[in-house]
Structure 1
Amino acid sequence: MRRPNGRKKIEIARMQNQTNLQVTFSKRRAGLFKKASELSTLCGANVAIVAFSPSNKVYACGHPSVESVVDKFVGENPPPDTDDPNPIIVAHQNANIDENNEKLNKLERALKRERKHGQALQALRTEPSNEKLSFFDLKILCESLEAADKKVEKLASQLMECGIEFPYQTIGSALAPLRARESTSSDSDERSSGSGE
């Protein structure tokens, strides 16, 4: 089985093959310009890179611009007061800004939903207590509770008729569960007579 070579350390020397030379130049140039852009963004440094390809084409990258950095370095023609940023760096910064704005918008929408939910919960907590109700309101509340009690009793009796166990006889009484069918003396008599046959 052949083992993979992985990353090999290459000898740093001029390449003889023209095709390989041009391809390597293109790939390394893109990486170099990217690193220069990152250095300028992260550190706020003024950066200028000028590269000549094997076919003598000129490639340059700089922030705020190649000319202003070169003029500053050479000392001739001091740069103007305006800092014209490099379009590549501006596009990179704008992409980051757009991504951060989208995250911020999502967080703001989530915060709005949570606030609405919190307000709804607060409204439930601030219902008037029975002590603050007027006599008329208390009478209506009492009638509503009596109607609810009748509905519960009706449902319990229906469940008992169907043979389903209903947990409690009255609301709030945890000590007296109902049984679906309570044994009566007539039931026990029928069972004993049925077992004798």
Structure 2
Amino acid sequence: MKRKSSSGRQKIPIEKIPKKSHLQVTFSKRRSGLFKKASELCTLCGVEIAIIVFSPADKAFSFGHPEVESIIDCYQTRNSSLDSSSHQLVEAHRNANIRNLNMQLTQIINQLEMEKRQGEELDRAWKARQRQYWWEIPVNQLGLHHLQHLMFSMDDLKKNVAKYATQMFMDHTSIPPPITGLGPTGFGPPQIFADANSSAFSFRY
């Protein structure tokens, strides 16, 4: 089957959009992009910008840094002196905000570094505990080396228990029988005496 050839990306002609619904959607998207680029330019280069755009419905939208009014005033009055009191106030306010943001950023970075170090210390402590008390770890989490070591240890334990049990059994069976009576002197087992007139034996205590 013959593959349909693709024309690739086509360049959109720069001309007014005839359809009103498409016109409004395009305006909203491009306006947001324009204001975003202006904000990035202010942040990166420290410039002052004022933008005023009108929608197809003649609705005004503006963006200004630090303020639209102050920039328009400077432009209209052609005030070349940027050291006026109002400009100095705006500049001081902006610098204060920048310093405050930098301080907050520094605090956040320091906190992240401290938490990172604490996390590394906890991780090292946990690994050290695992190496020292590895038998407390669940069996399904042990590696091959520890499993073999555990198997050999349990085998040795089984042998030691069997040996100890055998020794206890031997010690128990070798105990002499208890004394059930006393002799004439009050100590020792009963003595056996034979009767001269008969073959019977008698016991004296």
TM-score, scaled relative to structure 2? 0.45
TM-score, scaled relative to structure 1? 0.46
Higher Cα radius of gyration? 2
